[in-house]
Amino acid sequence: MNPATAMYIIQALHGLAYGMLLFLVASGLTLIFGMVGILNMAHASLFMLSAYLCYQVLAFTNSFWMSLFLAPLITACLGLLLERFFLRKVQAHGLGHIAELLLTMGISMVIAESVKSIWGTESLVISIPPSLDGLASFAGIHYPIYRLFIIGLSFCILALLVTVLYKTKLGKIIRATASDPGMVSILGINTPKVFAGVFALGAWMAGVAGVAAAPMLTVFPGLADQVGMDAFVVVVVGGLGSLLGAFVVSLTLGELNSFGVQFIPKLAPVLVFGFMAIVLSLKPNGFFGEGDH
């Protein structure tokens, strides 16, 4: 194959891998926003925490699969606790979204500092599990298996999410709660429980993304800010609360990042925010946004 074509394909795959990871983080963020109008500032911190947990579980068990199972689970439980003992209480104050934004910001600070004191400020090296190491070759293109694994894993979770949301009764309830919590609660459905479930689900997905990203990205205390900012852009540009928007924009951002780094390395970060600025100037509520909450 033509080397230039191969390069394009490889860059596109890089973009896809990062884009899918981003989607795993952003989808939880946007679902939570759709349901209660909270933009959870601590969401990316959960993602980072999971990457660190992956490191820890690896150190104990030496099994990547074990950490892929355990770390997201712990993250989900933590998410559940955060929702139950912090967010839900603050919602009762009736101060509106400012209180929730600040609370989650405070939580993210606490998580970041805890991570620093437990694991230090140095970046940790997490090696790719041997079974997924190496390059896959196809039609003259050599591509890391691990990244293909990430892409595959993300699509599995995406499929799972879509099935749950659009094929099950639970999904119907979740989507109805997202569009009109008051009405659903009148119908006799325990909305706080549904919301707690979604919060945990979002945290779990962020956790999976964290473990998957750990061998690919550098694990350091600034990881939350780095990925969180991209996830934030995804949610805002895609339209607050829109899952489809999050998907489309995640992939766009992934590709933008990947090709940006390749062709205009100096301006790559500006590209992302420039993209956001242009979209928002034309559509202040994002691509698929429906207006205010």
Partner 1 sequence: MAGNIKKLVLGFILLGAIGIAPRFLGIISLNMAVELAIGALFAVSLNLLLSYTGLLSFGHALFFGMGAYVMGISITYMDGITLIPAILMGSLAAGLTALIFTPLLVRVTGTAFSMLTMAFGQLMYVLCIKMRGITGGEDGLTLFDMPLLSVPGVFSLDMTDPATLYYTVMGVVLISIGCMWYFTKTPLGGVQAGIRDNAQRVEYLGFHVSASKAVIFIISGTFAGLAGCLAAIFQQVISVDGFLRINVSFMPIMAIMIGGLGHFLGPVIGTIFLMFLNQMAMRYTDKVELVFGIVFIMVVMYAPYGIHGLWVKARIYWGIFRHRKGALGKEERT
Binding residues vs partner 1 (CB under 8 A): 33, 37, 39, 86, 89-90, 93, 95, 97-99, 101-103, 105-110, 112-114, 116-117, 229, 232-233, 235-236, 240, 266-267, 269-270, 272-274, 276-277, 280-281, 284-285, 289, 292-293
* CA dihedral sign of residues 157, 72, 248, 152: negative
Minimum distance of partner 1 from residue 262's CB (angstroms):
17
In the bound state with partner 1, the residue whose beta carbon lies nearer, of 105 and 128, is: 105
In the bound state with partner 1, the residue whose beta carbon lies nearer, of 32 and 208, is: 32
Minimum distance of partner 1 from residue 96's CB (angstroms):
8
For residue 146, what are its two tokens?
């691990």
Q: What are phi and psi of 3, to 5 degrees?
A: -60, -35
Minimum distance of partner 1 from residue 171's CB (angstroms):
24
Rounded to whole angstroms, how far apart are CA atoms 53 and 55? 5
Rounded to whole angstroms, how far apart are CA atoms 32 and 104? 13
For residue 64, what are its two tokens?
């990547």
Instruction: Please report where in the chains the tokens 């939880």 appear, as a residue.
Output: 28
Rounded to whole angstroms, how far apart are CA atoms 236 and 276? 8
Minimum distance of partner 1 from residue 218's CB (angstroms):
18
The DSSP string of 26-76 is HHHHHHHHHHH----TTHHHHHHHHHHHHHHHHHHH--HHHHHHHHHHHHH
Minimum distance of partner 1 from residue 220's CB (angstroms):
15
Rounded to whole angstroms, how far apart are CA atoms 58 and 162? 30
In the bound state with partner 1, the residue whose beta carbon lies nearer, of 89 and 193, is: 89
Minimum distance of partner 1 from residue 3's CB (angstroms):
30
Minimum distance of partner 1 from residue 107's CB (angstroms):
6
Rounded to whole angstroms, how far apart are CA atoms 244 and 163? 14
Rounded to whole angstroms, how far apart are CA atoms 286 and 283? 5
Q: Kindly compute the dihedral angle of the four CA atoms of residues 259, 161, 96, 196, in this order, to the nearest 10 degrees.
A: -140
In the bound state with partner 1, the residue whose beta carbon lies nearer, of 69 and 273, is: 273
Minimum distance of partner 1 from residue 233's CB (angstroms):
7
Instruction: Classify 179 in phi/psi space as left (phi over 0), alpha (psi -120 to 50) or beta.
Output: alpha
In the bound state with partner 1, the residue whose beta carbon lies nearer, of 33 and 220, is: 33
